[in-house]
Chain A
């Protein structure tokens, strides 16, 4: 069984060599059947029919013709589409040189505007800034101060005492709503404002000044 398998394998190997145009190697097999089979296989290869050169070139020519026709058929719709597009573009362009220049200028302007718009030049205010937001304007706070002395020289020092506690409610701003800010007033010496016209004040008289928190 193994001997038969080996003979068949050897036969296939030698046959493949002969089909590839090589000479079979020297055989150590003395099996007569094998040698006869190899010899007959060689004869079969020699006897193989070959296509005539005329047939070979004729069929090749026909196939290439069909192939080129097929390629033309597949390319034709694409070319038709391209020419239709080109014709459309050509119709859009005016024949007058002045109109043509105007059209090109308009086109360039549109393209420039489009580019700038694309870069966000027109929508800059909407873009978030990296700077911190400015604090909202604070409402003026009215503080009442009372002089200690009854008289005072013009442009001189006036001792005033604030006895109230001023409560300032900060203006609401997004995300910063908080508790009221409380200012504890202390005894302070103030310069009498020079622009104040009133030079004489009665005892316990009070003047109101606008106080702006810094």
Chain B
């Protein structure tokens, strides 16, 4: 399902295009999944993923592989991009966006032979939208961004053990909502 999970860092003698292409190949699915969890809309997730990589391209010369892994760097950009997106909506639009989760999720194109999966995905997105913001963020970072608890802890300013506790509770709560 996932592509190579190695750390794609720029090597000596490698051109910027090659290094960036390598990072893109390894991290793009993670960035897309993380954003999908946050915005529960495939089209919007694609637009925001595109924005994330354009931002990354602009700031690529300043990226230091010894400071952060490419995954952490790009998920941080994705997180800020999603935050900016929600800020750009006014409170009324935000309320509509949350109300529309059911509609958006149901309208997701689902192949005929994968109707069950489509239905489950719709229920999952509805359940996710009902979680507190913090728990939804942790689930997105873990299942979408595939970050370690330590990386999530650094990003959110928690201790690693606190992330473990919150993650377990968030998954349990999501399961409860999902099975309702």
Interface residues of A (CB under 8 A from B): 4-5, 7-9, 11-12, 15-16, 19-21, 33, 36-37, 40-41, 43-45, 47-51, 55-56, 59-60, 62-64, 66-68, 70-71
Complex CA gap A40/B167 in Å reads 13
| List of A residues within 8 angstroms of B53 by Cβ | 59, 63
B89 interface contact, C-beta 8 A: no
| List of A residues within 8 angstroms of B28 by Cβ | 51, 56, 59-60
Interface residues of B (CB under 8 A from A): 1-2, 5, 16-17, 20-21, 24, 28-29, 32-33, 36, 42, 45-46, 49-50, 53-54, 57, 117, 120-121, 124, 139, 142-144, 146, 148-149, 161, 164-165, 167-168, 171-172, 174-175, 178
With A59-B28, A59-B49 known to touch, is A40 a contact of B36 (CB < 8 Å)? no
CB distance from B130 to the nearest CB of A (A): 15
Tell me if A49 and B32 are in contact (CB < 8 A). yes
With A47-B124, A49-B121, A63-B54 known to touch, is A68 a contact of B165 (CB < 8 Å)? no
Interface of B is mostly: helix
| List of B residues within 8 angstroms of A48 by Cβ | 1, 33, 36, 143-144
CB distance from A48 to the nearest CB of B (A): 5
| List of B residues within 8 angstroms of A40 by Cβ | 171, 174-175, 178
Complex CA gap A8/B35 in Å reads 25
| List of A residues within 8 angstroms of B29 by Cβ | 50-51
Complex CA gap A47/B118 in Å reads 9
